[in-house]
Structure 1
Amino acid sequence: LGGSVFPKLNWSAPKDSAWISTSATLRCTTFSEIALLFRASDSLVHDLCHAYDSCQDKSSSRPHNFFLALRKWYPSLKPEMEFRCFVRNHKLIGISQREVTTFYPVLVEKKDDLLLQIQGFFNNCVRTKFELENYAFDIYVTNNERVKIVDFNTWGGFTLSLLFTWDELEHIHSEEEDDVEFRIVEDRCGVRPGLKTAVPYDYLDTSSGSGWDQFLRNADEELRQQSRSTEAGA
């Protein structure tokens, strides 16, 4: 690939399969690493087979074309500086810390300043230029306090609501233009499980009849056969 990349399809990145990577990240340097992440990702299977299932006016279950996007991998990016913003009726109503599996003290210290920066960016650069009425978008705040768009997401459906629930977001009624609810993980007790910490159930299931149970049975049987062969040869 000529360097390190972050792979994704039209909409989703295979964040739910990061557990299978040797680095526990989505950093890829070869096509085989990309293929491994994609094959293990339920998020991408949803995009490939059921992307439009939550749309009321759908004419098919999936897009006709798919695109593989390879973004340059930036190891210096700070996960605590990525946020998801929720827009309803063209108003920014909620902002959530994107990486909810970790408590970052710096966010508590800079919360008010970050809110002003994100609100200003939305009003000046997004609100009048993005036509949808309801949507979510991800942003990153750089070291020099510049705000950059990472991605846009659909409202509801399979877009993660993170520190909100979709029911909460549906019922937030903001009378004031600048009345935005900004949620971060306030302490270590507030961290939540995330896709990057998830593994398939089959990976943990060791009950009778499970994949691991069958694997261990086969391994024991093969070991017994090898022992018998060794004894017969002696």
Structure 2
Amino acid sequence: MMHYTLSNKMKEEEVNRCQIQEWYPKFKSLSIKTRIHELPESFVQYLLDDSGPFLLPVSISNEDAFPNRIHNPEEADDYQVSEGSDDDESEQPPLPPSFPELELQVKESIESLGGSVFPKLNWSAPKDSAWISTTGTLKCSSFSEIALLLRSSDSLIHDLCHAYHSCCDKTSSRPKSFFLALRKWYQSLKPEMELRCFVRNQNLVGISQREVTTFYPALLEKKDSLPVLIEDFFVENLMSRFELENYTFDVYVTEDNRIKVLDFNPWGAFTLPLMFSWEELDQNCSEPGDNGVDLRIVEGHCAVRPGLKTAVPYDYLDTSPGSGWDQFMRNADEELQQQTRNAQAGA
């Protein structure tokens, strides 16, 4: 088996080519509608600042990141200083920041994209902070909601501080400029139809289900047709047009079998191989099979990869017979079967 040493191979150019502001203009006809804004350095520093209290920017449009919250007058008293107070000015609560020009640009883009978007920076989306939004998703309809998700995300620290960490020719810890990409929100997208594709030496060597923590019967039904569909798309649209030899790209397959490019990522480093390991993908490249591109999907309830949604790497989870995770998956499968029997009995 050939081993791929990530830290010795990756270059800054590979990482830069996968920034959304770099690839989207060239492949916009193959992707979903997106508006991109260069961020002022003051906003970047706002995202990085953890020295004081959590403050959302003042909205010049009076838009609230929590539009459904109930205002409690007693909370406001905590921030008021009575007249004649001897408190030193340095103890006054800091004034929240304001980014009026950026807010107006973002507001215009949201309206042009149908009223709802999901945000991401150069490479990453704030998926880890979706829980804090009013919908529990990345769906945003205002600048305040976007600022809330970005400011609350730990995963964006990668983009802001560590983007070139694995590059052998690293010259900086961050790009010169950061960009905010606002992507049109589609309520009807099905997570099972999002797939990650792996390209090595300009050849498609593997495809993986993107959401590996769930079993999707509909995806299993398309197991034979999807590799052919995606490989044809890759050869026709990407193979000779994307500038790198080694990379990954994420796609969404629509109900009528059209393919939309969602993202590009570098080969290795911070990119998850999902149902593969990087060693397996290298082996696929050096020892191509006769059955076409290798598609990996979750083929049963007990085959999900829970580690990608826990603080413990999957390789460290004990999934052997009799282990805690094995029992957990057995219980979950039994519960699902019982729910199915109950539903059939009530039909």
TM-score range, shorter chain: 0.7 to 0.9
Q: Separation in 2 of the partners of 1:23 and 1:87?
A: 35
The CA deviation string for residues 11-56 of structure 1, in whole angstroms up to 9 with x for no partner, is: 1111122222232211111222212211222221111011111111
Q: Separation in 1 of the partners of 2:174 and 2:300?
A: 40
Q: Which residue of 1 aligns with 2:298?
A: 185
Shift of 1:166: 2.2
1:183 partner amino acid: R
Aligned length: 198
Summarize the alignment of residues 49-198 of structure 1 with structure 2, pairs less than 5 Å apart.
Answer: 49-172=161-284, 173-175=286-288, 179-193=292-306
The CA deviation string for residues 72-131 of structure 1, in whole angstroms up to 9 with x for no partner, is: 101011111110000011111110011112111011111101111011111111111112
Q: Which residue of 2 aligns with 1:32?
A: 144
Structure 2 contact 227–292 (Cα < 8 Å) conserved: no
- Cα distance 1:110–1:167, how it changes in 2: closer, same or farther (>3 A)? same
Q: Separation in 1 of the partners of 2:279 and 2:151?
A: 32
Structure 1 contact 96–182 (Cα < 8 Å) conserved: yes
Q: Which residue of 2 aligns with 1:23?
A: 135
Mind listing any 5+ residue stretches in structure 2 that lack a counterpart?
Answer: 1-106, 312-347
Shift of 1:63: 0.3
Q: Separation in 1 of the partners of 2:281 and 2:117?
A: 33
Q: Which stretch of the first structure deviates more once superposed, 106-115 or 171-180? A: 171-180
Shift of 1:193: 3.2
1:185 partner amino acid: V
1:192 partner amino acid: R
Structure 2 contact 227–294 (Cα < 8 Å) conserved: no
Q: Determine helix, strand or coil for the equivalent of 2:222.
A: helix
- Cα distance 1:38–1:59, how it changes in 2: closer, same or farther (>3 A)? same
2:132 partner amino acid: I
Q: Which residue of 2 aligns with 1:211?
A: none
Q: Separation in 2 of the partners of 1:103 and 1:76?
A: 19
Q: Separation in 2 of the partners of 1:40 and 1:161?
A: 26
Q: Determine helix, strand or coil for the equivalent of 2:155.
A: helix
Q: Determine helix, strand or coil for the equivalent of 2:179.
A: coil
Structure 2 contact 298–304 (Cα < 8 Å) conserved: yes
Q: Cα RMSD between the aligned structures?
A: 1.9
Shift of 1:194: 7.0
Q: Separation in 1 of the partners of 2:155 and 2:214?
A: 22
1:48 partner amino acid: L
Structure 2 contact 119–180 (Cα < 8 Å) conserved: yes
The CA deviation string for residues 157-183 of structure 1, in whole angstroms up to 9 with x for no partner, is: 101111112232233324358632100
2:298 partner amino acid: V
Mind listing any 5+ residue stretches in structure 1 that lack a counterpart?
Answer: 200-234
Q: Separation in 2 of the partners of 1:122 and 1:178?
A: 17
Q: Determine helix, strand or coil for the equivalent of 2:224.
A: helix
Shift of 1:151: 1.0
2:151 partner amino acid: R
Q: Determine helix, strand or coil for the equivalent of 1:185.
A: coil
Identity score, percent: 66
